[in-house]
């Protein structure tokens, strides 16, 4: 099998792209000339808005429903994806898979339930792991797998109540490093990107409901503000492009110097 890297991916799949980091990444990837399949779980209208934003900059996109927490649906999703790739782009492969979909919010250790822990596991670790396995036959040689981790994985960004969330993200980081080794004979690069606190709908729209939170975060951030989805999306677009062809097996911090 070839070790040659591909050029910019012709089509990328971005999960959880109906808003926030996923939407910003999808638009940024499209701006670099790639087609984008955006996935959503429960907000089809917002996924359509992402597609419209990509259409508005002269790109091409298509929305598909996907529940990352339900791995039993992955084979059917792969079949739907293969159909869309053939019908919309005349191809049988993708150049990049961006595992962005997830859920957040803290839960104190003493209040953690097995049900809540299993939900973290299904969405944040098992989901992206087995979605990657399911879609691997569609990933072109020289393609890219990029998963969104979290700055909470590293020392320094350690807050009470995030043991479950950060534990799953840490597992995703380690698994991705091993996949970078295992998939290297096909020239497939595997990385994770670790955002710091970013203005998204995480925690049931916590930033919208409690805007004062942003001031405390800005005070702990070297660059003095809360992250925006575009800050992360632009780096994701870079990491799945040919410009990042010599980067694999890494967890890239994109946090503005949060909790240094």
Instruction: State how far the Cα of 224 lies from the Cα of 145, in Å rounded to an integer.
Output: 31
DSSP character string of the chain = ---PPPSS-SEEEESS-SSHHHHHHHHHHHHTT-EEEEEESS-HHHHHHHHHHHHHTT--EEEEE--TT-GGGHHHHHHHHHHHIIIIIS-S-EEEEEE---------GGG--HHHHHHHIIIIIIHHHHHHHHHGGGEEEEEEEEEE--GGGSTT---TT-HHHHHHHHHHHHHHHHHHHHTGGGT-EEEEEEE-SBSSSHHHHHHHH-TTHHHHHHHTBTTSS-B-HHHHHHHHHHHTSGGGTT--S-EEEESTTBT-
162 is a catalytic site residue? yes
Choose the catalytic residue: 40, 120, 129, 162. 162
Residues assigned a catalytic role: 162
């Amino acid at each position: 099998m070839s070790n040659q890297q591909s050029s910019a991916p012709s089509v990328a799949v971005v999960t959880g792209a109906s808003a926030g980091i996923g939407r910003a990444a999808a638009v940024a990837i499209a701006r670099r000339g790639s087609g984008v399949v955006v996935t959503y779980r429960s907000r089809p209208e917002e996924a359509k808005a992402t597609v419209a934003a990509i259409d508005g900059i002269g790109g091409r996109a298509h929305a598909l429903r996907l529940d990352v927490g339900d791995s039993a649906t992955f084979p059917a999703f792969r079949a739907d994806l293969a159909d869309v790739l053939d019908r919309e782009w005349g191809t049988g492969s993708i150049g990049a898979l961006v595992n962005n979909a997830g859920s957040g919010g803290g839960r104190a250790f003493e209040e953690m339930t097995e049900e809540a822990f299993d939900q973290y596991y299904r969405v944040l670790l098992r989901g992206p792991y087995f979605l990657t396995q399911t879609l691997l036959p569609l990933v072109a040689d020289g393609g890219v797998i990029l998963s969104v981790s979290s700055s909470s994985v590293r020392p320094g960004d350690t807050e009470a109540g995030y043991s479950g969330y950060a534990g799953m993200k840490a597992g995703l980081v380690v698994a991705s490093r091993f996949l970078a080794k295992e998939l290297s004979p096909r020239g497939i690069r595997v990385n994770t990107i670790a955002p710091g606190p970013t203005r998204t709908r995480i925690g049931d729209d916590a930033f919208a409901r409690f805007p004062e939170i942003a001031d405390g975060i800005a005070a702990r951030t070297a660059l003095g503000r809360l992250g925006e989805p575009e800050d992360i999306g632009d780096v994701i677009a870079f990491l799945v492009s040919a410009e990042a062809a010599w980067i694999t097996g890494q967890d890239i911090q994109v946090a503005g110097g949060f909790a240094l």
